[in-house]
Structure 1
Amino acid sequence: MKVLLIDDHPLILSALKTVIQGLGDHVSVVGAASAAEARGVLAADPDFDLVLLDLALGDAHGFDVLTEFRAQYPAVPVVVVSASDRSSDVIHAVDLGAMGFVPKRASNEILFEALNVVMSGGIYVPPMTLRSFGDGAGAPAGAGSVPQALAVVREQAEAGAVQKTPPLASLGLTPRQTDVLALLLQGKPNKLIARDLNLSVETVKDHVAAVLRALNVSSRTQAVLAVSQMTHQGGINAWRNPPR
């Protein structure tokens, strides 16, 4: 596994390189101390399996770099590793395409767990306190404004309110809806989900809408966060093989 680690703090860069190399003998880590250096590394060799990105870079805003890399290298998953653990930052990173978010204060074990989840095709976010997303829970995917939905969630998250989320087994999803949820959590758009499951895009939209209703959320980002809370409570990979 080849990892690009982007952090402008030399001590943290060195420490993270050592930790990540501890994942196994076949892990190689390339460090970049700036966004410009990271761009050069990827331009010369885009064949990386994973990018770990700090949000606080001296020459660029981390969210801008995340957006740029997700657009230019869509096959390379990006995990944010940040000193921030604000719910609003986690939500924004996932909404921009990050496949994971790990606070720097997390233990090595949590970092290993997060990287394993991401490399297995899942999305990792730390436990957060979120409450019910309100009256728009039945809205289909893409309905309404994502920024508006995120604004509501951010207000609720930063207020420290608690969302009570049911375990996955109690959601009452059909086998096909469970398949759609699994692909949705991988960040796939409706067209790719339709292709993978040999369904029409309209049918996928209906399934996504049903999944969002079952989760009591109104957007894909909220769905990722809601499922993350359940999986942290009932096993990180619980959503991968839910009872049918």
Structure 2
Amino acid sequence: MSGSTMPAAPPPTSGSPGGVVSVALVDDHPVFRIGLAALLGSLPGVVVVGQAASAAEGRALLTGRDDVDVALVDLDLGDGSGVDVIRDVLRVRPGLRVLVVTMHDDDGAVVASVRAGARGYLLKSAPPDAVERAVRAAAAGEMILSPQVAERAMAYVLGGRTAARVPFPQLTDREREVLDLVAAGLDNTGVARRLGLSTKTVRNVLATVLAKLALRDRAAAIARARAEGLGGDAI
């Protein structure tokens, strides 16, 4: 057609052909996962290419295909921790952008997710337009936090907690987080929920803490941790 000019195609927003953002979902709550898939599938330039209902399925899905640009991962999965899934998957696919979508807004869950490599953190109560913005931002390589989470994260930093003396330097960050919550009075299930871990993982971490600190039992660990200033929100 001589004399006519075709409009320029928009620049790609991701590594997928034609600028389409390919997303995968890892969540063990079928109603939420199906609803989220329907929402994302209705957005222009976004396609849902896979869903997983457990930690094991999530690992297999996200490491088994290379056409996923953005993965949305819950922290509480029936057979494991979303944080562990994120960490494991990013070792294999470091270029994958991961968004956490969860009900938990506590500092520990946010920090654990970001340390694992998540590029964003959304609460499940986020409105549809916020979910869309987060997916597109993550696909573009940006870091994004929901407003509530961003406010808490800023308070965490400005509070100077990162500059405080670190108790039990022989422990890893995860071990210290678990010990802190145990000292605060939480049982293994409560610690698992706060950190997005499985109860089995919490049990194993606590056993490692007892061995490293040469403590005989949970009660001794609580007493020692509180003496070092942990468990500040003891209940």
TM-score, normalising length: structure 2: 0.55
Query: 2:128 maps to which residue?
Result: 108
Distance 2:65 2:76 in 1: 24
Shift of the 120–26 alpha-carbon distance from structure 1 to 2, 3 Å rule, reads closer
Q: Which consecutive unaligned segments of at least 5 residues does structure 2 have?
A: 1-20, 164-170, 182-235
Query: 1:125 maps to which residue?
Result: 145
Query: 1:74 maps to which residue?
Result: 94
Tell whether 2:160 aligns with 1:134. Answer: yes
Q: Which of 63, 66, 70 pairs up with 1:46? A: 66
Distance 1:92 1:41 in 2: 22
1:23 partner SS? coil
Shift of the 106–26 alpha-carbon distance from structure 1 to 2, 3 Å rule, reads closer
TM-score, normalising length: structure 1: 0.53
Is the Cα–Cα contact under 8 Å of residues 84 and 116 in structure 2 kept in the other structure? no
1:121 partner SS? coil
Distance 1:37 1:81 in 2: 17
Q: Which of 48, 53, 56 pairs up with 1:36? A: 56
Per-residue CA deviations over 1:176-230 (Å, capped at 9, x if unaligned) read xxxxxxxxxxxxxxxxxxxxxxxxxxxxxxxxxxxxxxxxxxxxxxxxxxxxxxx
Per-residue CA deviations over 1:150-197 (Å, capped at 9, x if unaligned) read 97xx99xxxxxxxxxxxxxxxxxxxxxxxxxxxxxxxxxxxxxxxxxx
Identity %: 31
Q: Which of 25, 32, 37 pairs up with 1:12? A: 32
Per-residue CA deviations over 1:126-163 (Å, capped at 9, x if unaligned) read 232305243977xxxxxxx9949x97xx99xxxxxxxx
Distance 1:89 1:64 in 2: 12
Q: Which consecutive unaligned segments of at least 5 residues does structure 1 have?
A: 138-144, 156-244
Query: 1:57 maps to which residue?
Result: 77
Per-residue CA deviations over 1:84-142 (Å, capped at 9, x if unaligned) read 122321122112210000000111111112112211211011232305243977xxxxx
Larger mean CA deviation between 24-33 and 78-87 belongs to 24-33
- The CA RMSD measured in Å over matched residues stands at 2.7
Shift of 1:55: 0.6
In structure 2, give the amino acid aligned to 1:134. G
In structure 2, give the amino acid aligned to 1:128. E
Shift of 1:26: 4.8
Distance 1:54 1:135 in 2: 27
Is the Cα–Cα contact under 8 Å of residues 7 and 32 in structure 1 kept in the other structure? yes
Is the Cα–Cα contact under 8 Å of residues 53 and 62 in structure 1 kept in the other structure? yes
Distance 1:56 1:15 in 2: 18
Is the Cα–Cα contact under 8 Å of residues 2 and 28 in structure 1 kept in the other structure? yes
Runs (4 or more) in structure 1 with deviation over 4 Å come to none
Distance 1:135 1:8 in 2: 34
Higher strand share: 2
Shift of the 135–108 alpha-carbon distance from structure 1 to 2, 3 Å rule, reads closer
1:4 partner SS? strand
